[in-house]
């Protein structure tokens, strides 16, 4: 528990959230500023800023709940044509709330939400050699 953390306050019921699911480890609730209807957040009750701070077992519990919610969203909001499972892990990855959360973002055609890239990005495919060089830096994982 981090007393400055808005998601810890939600876990502690000090701040309202429309809670979809809760067990001993996990909580899921509706995002306050949804990208589309049904946008939900799945969090660990334990406070951790980054994924790597969580035990593997706990981290993996986010996804089955996320998938259940995604399936329900698709059933209830048929305009949903895809789901974005998204974790911003760190401030420079776009994380605004420093408590691990998995976004379940329903997507529909032309919903106006997207990642933006520098125009040069679109022209550039790595060669086999370039990809191998990067891979060699990363292995063994
Ligand atoms: P991030 O940018 O950290 O990946 O996403 C944080 C998300 O938390 C945003 O989608 C934002 O709308 C949501 N959020 C921020 N504060 C609150 C809050 O007090 N209650 C709820 N339900 N969602 C929040
Ligand atoms: Zn927290």
pLDDT tens digits for range 9-52 = 999 999 999 999 999 999 999 999 999 999 999 999 999 999 99
Total residues belonging to the chain: 141
120 pLDDT band, cuts 50/70/90, is very high
Q: Each residue of 79-110: pLDDT tens digit?
A: 999 999 999 999 999 999 999 999 999 999 99
Q: CA 110 to CA 134: how far, in whole Å?
A: 34
Which numbered ligand comes closest to the C-alpha of 53?
2
Residues serving a catalytic function are 101
Instruction: Give the pLDDT score at 106.
Output: 98
Residues at CB less than 6 angstroms from ligand 1: 6, 17, 29-33, 41, 88, 94-97
Walk me through the domains of the chain, giving residue ranges and CATH numbers: 6-116 (3.30.428.10)
Residue with the nearest Cα to atom 4 of ligand 1?
Answer: 95
Ligand 2 centroid, distance to 101 Cα (angstroms): 10
**Residue 47: partners with Cβ closer than 8 Å, 6 or more residues away:** 1, 2, 5, 7, 8, 99
Q: How far is the CA of 87 from the centre of ligand 1 (A)?
A: 12
- Contact predicate 29/38, CB 8 Å: no
Min mean pLDDT across 64-73, 89-98, 107-116 is at: 107-116
């Amino acid at each position: 528990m981090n007393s400055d953390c808005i998601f810890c306050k939600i876990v502690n019921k000090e701040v309202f959230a429309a809670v979809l699911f809760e067990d001993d480890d996990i909580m899921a609730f509706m995002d306050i500023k949804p990208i589309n209807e049904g946008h939900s957040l799945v969090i660990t009750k334990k406070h951790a800023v980054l994924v790597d701070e969580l035990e593997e077992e706990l981290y993996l519990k986010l996804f089955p709940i996320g998938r259940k919610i995604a399936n329900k969203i698709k059933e209830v909001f048929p305009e949903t044509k895809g789901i974005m499972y998204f974790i911003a892990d760190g401030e420079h990855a776009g994380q605004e709330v420093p408590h691990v959360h998995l976004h379940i973002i329903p997507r529909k055609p032309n919903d106006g939400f997207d990642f933006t890239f520098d125009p040069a990005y679109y022209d550039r495919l790595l060669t086999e050699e370039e990809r191998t060089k990067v891979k060699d830096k990363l292995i063994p994982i």
